[in-house]
Structure formats: C-alpha cells, structure tokens
Amino acid sequence: MTTDHRAPSPVRRDAGRPAHLERPMSVSRRARLAAPLIAAALAFAVSACGGSTPGTGSASDLEAAKATAGELVGSGGAPVDACALLKPADVQAIIGTTVEGKPDTAPGDAGGCTWQNDDNYYSVTVSIGGSGTAPGNTLPAAQPERGTVTPMSGGMRGLPGGVVQFASDNRACEIQVATNSGSQDQQKAAGVANKVKAAL
C-alpha cells in the first residue's frame, strides 16, 4: 500500500468569501511565505562555492544572500501599524459598516490590516512593505501573473480585483478594495492609497 505524504491543504482564512471578492496575496503575506526561501538562499550561498562541503561559501556569497533577504522582509525595525493608517469613517464609506481592523503582520518592519464586513464580504486591505522594498520610491517590476497593469496618477498602478500598488517612504505598498463595484473598486483603492500615503 502506498502512503500519501503530501501535506494537507491549508485552510483559507476567508473561507466562504464569494469567488468574485477573493483577495490577491498581500505584500505582508508574501513576506511571510518568503521566510523559507530566505533560509534556503542563505544555505545555498554557504555551499555554492564548495559543493557539498559546509561552510566553504565565500563572504560575497553570504553578503549577497543577506541583501536578498533584506529586500524581501525590510529592516528589523518595529512593524508598521497598518490598522492605524485609516480612519473608521474612511473604511465605513467603502464597506458599509464600522469594524475593527485585523492586523496581518510580517517579518521586519512591514505590516498589513484588513477590514471586512461579514454581512456582504466587502473589504479593504492595506499592505505595507518593509523599508527598502521600493528604493527611491520606485516600485519593483509588476508580476505578470497578477494580470494587466493600469498606469495611474501619482506613480500608482492598478491591477485586476480592485488592487492599487504604490511606493511611499521607500516601501512597496498595496491596497485592495473588494466590493461589487467592478472597475470602481480600483478608483476607491486609489483614494485609500492617497490617504495611506499621507499617514505613513
């Protein structure tokens, strides 16, 4: 008899959300998922120049791996309190009710927060990348799998699903508004982005 060693599928935190209101993976969630990759990168750097012999990687290999890790998770400072970046009235105007934001923390000084109306599944999600994830306030290249990029004012860019990305304080940031408003969600997300920029 063959034993299936595959790990069980993770339980989605937003199970029950209608498919058209699904949220793309946020900056802070990606940072959490990057942790194993960072460890692997460091391990690879150690052995890169010495085959299977441990500890023979060059100093430059290690420094390059550390730099990559820093780019993924930002600095080791205190995380951003993303839930404090919007006023309750700003969120209520979009999701139709006043709710407490749920923080979505990440390594380094990144941070995130989601406000969701559990009656209609409308939500606002703020994801703030770590320091240095957008050097010179320039966003990294868009990920092709996220869909068509729409250039927007102020250096922002829109993505399908009510997503707007922008750079502020040398951080790559992302806002998502998920309601039934179609293309208007992206415009609402741009409005939220401007408020977050001012608060960072």
Tens of pLDDT along the chain (200 residues)?
Answer: 444 444 444 333 444 555 445 554 454 444 433 433 343 333 333 334 344 344 434 444 444 434 434 444 455 578 999 999 999 999 999 999 999 999 987 778 999 999 999 999 999 999 999 999 999 999 999 999 999 999 999 999 999 999 999 999 999 999 999 998 888 999 999 999 999 999 99
One domain, residues 135 and 37? no
| Assigned domain for 26 exists | no
- Quote the domain boundaries for residue 129: 77-199
Contacts of 172 (CB under 8 A, 6+ apart): 27, 129, 133, 134, 139, 140, 165
Q: Please, is 17 exposed, middle or buried when counting C-beta atoms within 10 Å of its C-beta (0-12, 13-18, 19+)?
A: middle
Dihedral of alpha carbons 26, 134, 129, 66, sign: positive
Q: Say how far apart CA 21 and CA 24 lie, in whole Å.
A: 10
Q: Give the number of domains in the chain.
A: 2
Looking only at the bridges linking them, the beta strands covering 123-128 and 163-168 are: unpaired
| Assigned domain for 165 exists | yes
CA 16 to chain CA centroid, nearest Å: 22
Q: What is the pTM of this model?
A: 0.66
One domain, residues 81 and 69? no
Q: Considering 19, 49, 73, which residue would you say is the last residue of a domain?
A: 73
Distances in Å between the Cα of 181 and the Cα atoms of 41, 123, 162 are 42, 12, 9
One domain, residues 185 and 109? yes
Q: Say how far apart CA 190 and CA 193 lie, in whole Å.
A: 5
| Assigned domain for 157 exists | yes
One domain, residues 67 and 108? no
Q: What pLDDT, on a 0 to 100 scale, did the predictor assign at position 76?
A: 57
One domain, residues 111 and 166? yes
* Side-chain-facing half-sphere of 172: CA atoms under 13 Å: 19
Contacts of 162 (CB under 8 A, 6+ apart): 176, 177, 178, 179, 181, 185, 186, 188, 189
Q: What pLDDT, on a 0 to 100 scale, did the predictor assign at position 107?
A: 72
One domain, residues 151 and 57? no
One domain, residues 49 and 83? no
